[in-house]
Amino acid sequence: MTAMEHKTGSCKMSSVRKFRLWLWAGAALGLVLVVTAAFACLTYGWDKPLLGPHAFRQTQTAISSYYMVRHPEMFLRYITPVLGKPWEIPMEVPYYQWLVARWHTLTGMPLDAAGRFVSVFFLLACLWPITLLMRALGTPWAGVWVSWCLILSSPLYLFWSNAFLIESTGLFLVLGMTAFLTRALRHQSPWDAAVAFLFGLLAITCKATTWAIAAGASLLLIFYLIGRENLLSAVRNPLASLRGPKLRLWMVALLCAVSLALCFIVGKMWLDFADKIKSKNIFARELIIANSENQKRWNYGTLEQKLDPATWQGIGRHIASQLTPEAPLVGSIFLPAVLMISLVFARGRRLVPLIFLAVFAAGPLVFTNLYFEHSYYWMANGVWLLLAAGDVAGRLLSFPKVPLGGDKKNVASVWLARSAVTLTVVLTLILSGFAQWRRIYFPILQNLPSQASLAKAFIEPAQKTVLPGRTLLVLGHDWNPAILYYAERKGIAFPTAPWIPFPCRQLDEALGRFEEAEELGGVLVGGTFLNTEFRQAVEAFLAQIGAAPPPVQTPFGLLFRVQSGRDKTRF
């Protein structure tokens, strides 16, 4: 090498060092800006009621927290009083609902806002197990930074973490399980495996479908790490794999696999316990028994649905609007296209992002109907797509090792160009994510009514019509708990199902279960029950139970007062 070439190479490496310093300084500033913008999005609308998308599920969760506030001793046998007596219809162990109730009691924060606070808290807490997981898999710190930024700018996590839902709590628990299982294998640590087991127990009883996705990720990562560390030596010399550190690795791997199996058994025990309780409720046993054929069809979908192109078009819309925000000129295909191209050029192991992508795809492939019907279900698997992008970006941003005798100047030039392109792509994704939230989800939150207007239009007239202690029957809104939650009344939200006509034997029996002090005090008729198809049946029913005209007009429909008299609840 001539003196001139040596000087040029030294200048190039000096430029690289300066660029790396500016890169880290810019990364720190960028993360501060992303966190600030995310905080503004995540806290917007906390003063609004839970009447946005999937208000059904939000208020179902909130009404359980409401009664946990009034009965602090309540936990496993918690109540969700929307389908008549008995009021207990447990679906998950209510860690989230209990924490919301306690936070509300401790701080005095309004219950709706307390639910959103706890949900946001667990989203931010997810960054800890994400960091542990990615570092255990060898992802550079640059990849961790990209993953944080992509999650905190994702419309999916910005919107649904700002909701009264258990999703971010379940996500935190499953990420903790996966992270500590991975650490257990990397460090051959039984203690990390034990921590993973505790996370797994909490996770499967909190949100079984979210646990199932993460359990698949954990199994794939166990096979990956065992294969990387042990497979070749085991094939060449089987006895060598059963001695010393390699034996310890196999034992820890077995411990991890057993912990997943035990979690599954505990989850099954919880579902059986919850089903036993729900089966005592007339409507719950028709709708939400976990082991019933109806519930299995609802969770997994049918073969016809899985083969229907319209199903995957709907799923594609969920992905495009929530996870792959539209970038200028290229639209929502930007992230998938860039990820696939980057995988070709990324240095080092490519199996980790491919595992993450497989886990992401497993959600809609297995739980097809849930992912088709519910936008918020994508919180369980969307993170794996973003982690795949973060891992690839981290490897592209890392300065490669220069082989002995290699051309440092050429390596530095390639790295500078590659880093500039990668950072441009990441910045585009971050800005597009916030822009997507601003375009689609900000108007939804902005247009929600205020708590004061809801109180004047519905809560006050409902509480005057249905006296404390009396129950409320809701017709025409399926079994949506929103009306009962904001009326602060127990009751029956009559479920809409082809095999449950109106009126029906189940409703007659459910009304007959009320004590004298809690007998029907009002009927709200709205939605489909206001049309001509149901009008005659509704009028006859109202006359039979002694509903007193004129009704009160509310945003949810017509509210009728019911005169006292137990004999009138039979028809």
What is the per-residue pLDDT across 212-243, written as a single tens digit (0 to 9) for each?
A: 999 999 999 998 888 766 554 554 555 455 55
Spell out the SS3 assignment of 20-60. HHHHHHHHHHHHHHHHHHHHHHHCCCCCCCCCCCCHHHHHH
Residue position matching structure tokens 């519930």: 295
- With a CB cutoff of 8 Å and minimum separation 6, the contacts of 491 are 81, 82, 84, 471, 472, 473, 474, 484, 520
Give percent above pLDDT 70 in the chain.
89
Confidence (pTM): 0.91
Handedness of CA 416, 419, 425, 431 (dihedral sign): negative
Query: What local confidence, expressed as pLDDT, does residue 565 receive?
Result: 52
Query: What local confidence, expressed as pLDDT, does residue 10 receive?
Result: 55
- With a CB cutoff of 8 Å and minimum separation 6, the contacts of 213 are 174, 359, 362, 363, 366, 380, 381, 384
Strand order in the sheet with 471-475: 491-493, 471-475, 520-525, 557-562, 547-554
Mean pLDDT of 515-537: 87
455 HSE (CA, 13 A, CB side):
5
pLDDT in tens, 145-184: 999 999 999 999 999 999 999 999 999 999 999 999 999 9
Mean pLDDT of 16-44: 85
Partner residues linked to 520 by β-bridges: 471
Please give the span between the terminal C-alpha atoms of the chain, in angstroms, as a whole number. 100
Mean pLDDT of 138-148: 93
Query: What local confidence, expressed as pLDDT, does residue 106 receive?
Result: 96
Rounded distance between C-alpha atoms, residue 454 and residue 416, angstroms: 56
Query: What local confidence, expressed as pLDDT, does residue 564 receive?
Result: 67
Query: What local confidence, expressed as pLDDT, does residue 192 receive?
Result: 93
Mean pLDDT of 72-83: 94
Q: By the 8 A CB rule, do 343 and 354 touch?
A: yes
Residue 427 has pLDDT above 50, yes or no: yes
pLDDT in tens, 106-129: 999 999 999 999 999 999 999 999
